[in-house]
Structure 1
Amino acid sequence: MLTVLSLLLPVYLLVAMGFGVVRTHWVGGSEMASLGRLVLRVFIPATLFYALSSAPLHETLRLDYLAAYAGGSVGIWGITFVLSRLLGNNRADAGLEAMGASVSNSAYFGLPVVTMVFGADTAFRVFALHLLVENLVTLPLAIGVMETAGGRVSLGRLAATTLRNPLLIASVAGLAYAATGLPLPEPVSRTFQMLNPVAAPVALLVIGAAVAELNPGAMGWAAVRLVPLKLVVFPALVGGLMVLFSVDPTLAKAGVLNAAVPMMSSFALFGLNYGRPQLAATALILNTAVSFFTLTGLVAFLEV
């Protein structure tokens, strides 16, 4: 257990540091938000491109992994959506809850955690696959349901936003370069290597800052039930499908770990956009706090 804590405690200390500097006004929330955009648009895309372009394409583009992670994502989306509807929520609210349960914070949280546990090579390989599932399957499904429920059909805007995602662009570009079989020029390779250690710790600081900016409301049941759905049921579904599809054990464990991190930080923005800001903020704070215990137990269970 001490080994597990030594792996995960730095992750949450960085989150706490980001939380603390914003809550004490040592650093402004807007400054941390700008830093977050820099991480999302420069650091992570650069290191993602480097990781994918440097590995053989057949080792990176794993269809068995994609099928398992996509199946788990769509499965927990469906379970959460149906449960919310049975409890009397409208389609837009049910779609929002389903989004919270099915889309992990892969960039700011999953990538650093998987890097800490499995190393950067494995982390970036599975991160690219998570991006494909989230941006091409889960998010379009969730947003499409919420948009149609609210009478705001904008599939063109959704497609345009997806195609402009710098992480998705970096993934596709990295895979395309890997397909050529050409090595990166040495100066370019060394530049990417210099950026590699920066992305993960800064991303965790930004997560803490984002939580510090949230204003949770009364503890509603919707926010509470999203905790076990996101942190327990989703990784369990992914784990079962990884076994079913005979995915490489190390990659499978990395996928389960990514499924077990809190929902994406922009869930709070979606909550604001669809009229449920308190639900989204409270659920995000609860999931971030509880995930320390669930992730610690999961890493111990996976024996990594």
Structure 2
Amino acid sequence: MLEILAITTPIFLLIGAGYLAMGTRLVNREQMQGVATFVLYFALPALVIRAVTQNPLDEVLQPHYLLAYGLGSLAVFAFALLLTLGLQRKPLSEGAIHALGMSASNSGFIGFPVAAMVLGASPAAVFLALNMLIENLLIIPMALILAEVGRQRGAGIATVARKTLFRLIRNPILVGLALGLLLAVTDTTLPRPLAQAVDMLANASGPAALFVIGGTLFGLQVRGMMNDVGQIVAGKLILHPLAVLGIFLLMPEADPALLAGALLFACAPMISVFPLLGQRYGLAGVSAATLMVATLAAFVTLSMGIWLMDLASLLPTR
């Protein structure tokens, strides 16, 4: 177990460094947002480009992974909707945001740094690219379309879908994925100076992302929201990994390496923009508190998940 803590503790120390930097006013919200912008618009796209171009394309596009992780995420999304809409009688917008929190991982800011330490940077970057496809082309659009339909009852679903799609095609990580696929398909090699710049940006993505998460958590409150917060956190940190595991086990000849990567990303807390999306639908407090609790609880669940995967011999020998 000490070996597992040796992997997860540095990750949460970096998160703590971001929290401490905000708490001591070493940086302010605007400066922290600047670091977040750097990660989102430069470091993570570079990481995805490197993952796609430095590995054979057939190793990057893993249909078994896309199917298993996608179906597992969809199953949790559907369960969350059934729970919130059918049993708890919540509005559609609120149910969609709850479902998003349970089924979309913070793949870039937490999933990748953890997977990189456990599995290695190269396979972790491939899993990141695959998860970005699932989250940005399936889970997030579906949640936003449903939330907008619930909010704008007079607007047609086609109009809402078109607006959501337009926002998504400007997502910098998806742009990086498209560029990487274009380079891979055309067998184009980047000039050495440009390739080195991409490497440097990619290497900065993990530490900078974790630092931003810590800064984002500073000042968040949880009071009076524990029922909804606990429900979303349990769905994300427990139900989501179990659903992904279940789908993988149903598939013939599941690759242990793919399963390990999928579980590490599924064990991560929800996407870092969850509070921003929740704010749009009147759920700013709940979504921010949920992110804080899930990120802190992930220290325990990720450590336990890595320990269990190690016992099951899913992880490479360290």
TM bin (shorter chain): over 0.9
CA distance in 2, matches of 1:164, 1:213: 30
CA distance in 2, matches of 1:301, 1:117: 13
2:3 match: 3
2:303 match: 296
2:78 match: 78
CA distance in 1, matches of 2:248, 2:181: 23
2:255 match: 248
Which runs of 5 or more structure 1 residues have no equivalent in the other structure? Answer: none
1:120 match: 121
CA apart distance, 1:213 = 4.4
AA partner of residue 258 (structure 2): L
Cα 1:65/1:272, change in 2 over 3 Å: same
CA apart distance, 1:70 = 0.7
CA apart distance, 1:189 = 2.4
AA partner of residue 151 (structure 2): G
The residue correspondences of 1:92-131 to structure 2 (distance < 5 A) are 92-131=93-132
AA partner of residue 13 (structure 2): L
More displaced 10-residue stretch of structure 1: 186-195 or 283-292:
186-195
SS at match of 1:263: coil
Which runs of 5 or more structure 2 residues have no equivalent in the other structure? Answer: none
SS at match of 1:275: coil
**Preserved CA contact (<8 Å) 1:19 1:208:** yes
1:185 match: 191
1:139 match: 140
More displaced 10-residue stretch of structure 1: 241-250 or 46-55:
241-250
AA partner of residue 23 (structure 2): R
CA distance in 1, matches of 2:219, 2:280: 17
SS at match of 1:188: helix
Q: Could you give the per-residue CA deviations for residues 234-266 of structure 1, whole angstroms, max 9, x where no partner exists?
A: 011111222333442112211111011110111
2:287 match: 280
TM value normalised by structure 2:
0.92
AA partner of residue 72 (structure 1): G
Query: Once the two structures are aligned, what percentage of the paired residues are identical?
Result: 32
SS at match of 1:199: helix
CA distance in 2, matches of 1:190, 1:281: 37
**Preserved CA contact (<8 Å) 1:21 1:209:** yes
AA partner of residue 113 (structure 1): V
**Preserved CA contact (<8 Å) 1:239 1:253:** no
* RMSD over equivalenced CA pairs, Å: 1.4
1:171 match: 177
